[in-house]
């Protein structure tokens, strides 16, 4: 699962479409508070991600996002 957090709707929509097209399950959040709520609902503390999971800081390109997901 990939959590996309982006406040710009069109950028978020594009990122979600690209990651989903690469075959990944995508969850989206419009801001940090929403993302933290999603992580908490999944039982994941924002600083305690399962091994192999990570946050991608901005700026990053959709190509970078897909490359990270494939590793």
Q: Tell me: the pLDDT tens digits for 17-56?
A: 999 999 999 999 999 889 888 988 988 765 666 666 666 6
pLDDT at 45 (0 to 100): 67
At CA 43, angle to CA 70 and CA 6, rounded to 5?
Answer: 55
Q: Sketch the domain layout of the chain as residue ranges.
A: 2-70
State the residue for tokens 């503390």.
45
Q: How many other C-beta atoms can be found within 10 angstroms of the C-beta atom of residue 36?
A: 15
């Amino acid at each position: 699962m990939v959590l996309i957090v982006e406040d710009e709707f069109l950028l978020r929509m594009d990122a979600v479409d690209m990651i989903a097209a690469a075959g990944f399950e995508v969850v989206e959040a419009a801001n940090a508070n929403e993302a933290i709520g999603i992580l908490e609902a999944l039982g994941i503390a924002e600083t305690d991600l399962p091994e192999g999971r990570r946050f991608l800081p901005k700026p990053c390109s959709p190509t970078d996002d897909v490359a990270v997901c494939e590793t």
